[in-house]
Chain A
């Protein structure tokens, strides 16, 4: 039977109810994660890293490299960008794997502290130090101007490039140069990060760009911490990852080595918190090398998902039983890790033949991030 009309009830727009709290709230419904099932599914999704266990990939993290001037922040940032732009197997920076950005995307470096010549020389050196391919240089767009400001015409073009899905990494050197808001004004600082997040979110690429921010610390004596980043507390609060870089100098004032201390990690696991890493850049013959104190991460240090990926990368198609033997983990752990890897579309089903018998197995999908180009459709 048709529902009877009632003229005494107001026709209000859809309103949230106890049963359906997101009813009539389309903007919130688009972004809200709700329901035990969805929350569990998200929690099970493996974390994927751009810089192993330090910087996550694809979620638009803002990484602060913080320290006094001339202590090695820029050098480290450039090495990370060079490794991200490398075309091929992942490289290592300070002993930790850096996953190359998807082919078809670029790294934008706003080098407001350097001229074009100086910036070009330093990027060339960074590419050399991390062992990146020649292709890495072809993927870096350097904007070496002292007058690029967040919000100005150049920045608006940068935003268009990001909105076209063509940028995987943005390096801003330095924050003080590019965003000249009042450092002590909380609102002005919040507005800077609003603009950065707006631009990050505008990217239609499956992986949101990583922003590497080089920022100075206030002048002070003694040990430097992330909270010494110049500017209001807003700057520190908005960082997903905070790395403090400080240098040791010899009696003449020359930097002999720098130390990267990991002061802030989003979801940092206390048991796996990275130790501070000392690194030094030296010239060997006609090339530069970066030496560091960090042990190379061994397979056993890696999360199980990453270990399985390494095994598949090395052995090709592998059965579940063989994975158990190689990882020395129990069946339940292997099942969970394999489920996660399928969810992340990192592996797929395959078959292997052993002594004439076919067994179910797994292999890497060809669409690992650095193997398949992301094809953007520019609309600028």
Chain B
């Protein structure tokens, strides 16, 4: 990317309501220098804020737009975190900037990474999720609030020159956005497949194969009962399933639709009554 588009809010614009920023265009090196160069102030909002997306009309509330940088805040960290993160991310282009409340013992920081191209809003959520998961695997826990496309980040401010822990500049390559999105989609597809598998298995697992086989037999019996014998088949099979501890509603779910499909919608109420009577009869007999 030759020029990156981000939204910048001066301190006044940041405090104003509604918040409306300025979309600015800068090359990566200039922008990185600005993001990593500390201002000294007693308030963290003294130098305004920025958003990695070029928000439409600069409007922050509900704002969307192409995203030029992938950003994640790291609040849960320990001494030496800046160097460890810089080492883990050495192959990428970006900066790691200590935030206003960073201390040596707890060097809270912001990771800013350069993608190979701007991300469309729909792509951003996928890419940011992938970023967070991958960092988590490497032991870097990020603030999930950063997943919002219109999230604002304070400009680089430190309380005093002595408190400044120093930014780390990453001199590797931009993240290959398309490869990152492909990897993220593969992960999502696997999760979806697992979810479907769990759903498919749930009813069988809860009843056991023996009961599942008994239900299948009962359905078959109701489905193949000849005209004039359908009611009797339903009663017989419902009674038989009740012996296995199935409730009236379980048996209704198992047999009623099969009965209605064969005997007609007009006999649905008769089917419900027959099942309940059979279950009640079983309860009396037990």
Residues of A within 8 A of B (CB): 1-13, 149-153, 156, 181-182, 185, 187-188, 190-192, 194-195, 198
Contact = CB atoms under 8 A, between A and B. Distances in A.
Given A5-B134, A188-B217, A10 B89 contact: no
Contacts of B183: 7-11
A156 B245 contact: yes
A6 B133 contact: no
Contact of B190 (A1, A12, A190, A195): A12
A152 B244 contact: yes
A6 B182 CA distance: 13
Contact of B91 (A4, A10, A150, A188): A4
B209 A195 contact: yes
Interface string B69-95: 000000000000000100111111000
Given A2-B88, A151-B214, A187-B216, A7 B130 contact: yes
A3 B137 CA distance: 11
Interface in B127-164: 130-131, 133-135, 137-138
Interface residues of B, number: 37
Contacts of B213: 181, 187-188, 190-191
A32 B90 CA distance: 42
A8 B180 contact: yes
B179 interface: yes
A153 B285 CA distance: 13
A11 B137 contact: yes
B11 interface: no
Interface of B: 84, 87-92, 130-131, 133-135, 137-138, 175-176, 179-180, 182-184, 186-187, 190, 208-214, 216-217, 243-245, 286
Name A's interface SS. loop
Contacts of A198: 208-210
B125 to A, nearest CB: 15
B88 A4 contact: yes
Contacts, number: 89
Contacts of B89: 4-5
Contact of A152 (B134, B135, B208, B243): B243
Contact of A12 (B175, B186, B208): B186
A147 to B, nearest CB: 9
A138 B90 CA distance: 75
A152 B209 contact: no
Contacts of B182: 8
A211 to B, nearest CB: 15
Contacts of A11: 133-134, 137, 183, 187
A77 B131 CA distance: 66
Most buried by B among A9, A10, A194: A10
B217 A153 contact: no
Given A5-B138, A7-B92, A151-B214, 10 more contacts: A3-B138, A5-B88, A5-B91, A5-B134, A7-B134, A149-B243, A191-B210, A192-B210, A195-B208, A195-B209
A151 B190 contact: no
A190 B214 CA distance: 12
Contacts of A10: 183-184, 186-187, 190
A156 B243 CA distance: 11
Given A11-B187, A12-B190, A182-B217, A1 B210 contact: no
Contacts of B135: 5
Nearest to A7: B180
A316 B187 CA distance: 65
B245 A152 contact: yes
Most buried by B among A5, A182, A188: A5
A192 B91 CA distance: 59
B211 A8 contact: no
Contacts of B131: 7
Contacts of A8: 175-176, 179-180, 182-183
9 contacts: A3-B138, A4-B90, A5-B89, A7-B175, A149-B243, A151-B210, A152-B244, A190-B213, A191-B213
B210 A153 contact: no
In order of increasing CB-CB distance, the 7 nearest A-B pairs are: A191-B213, A8-B179, A10-B186, A195-B210, A10-B183, A151-B244, A7-B180
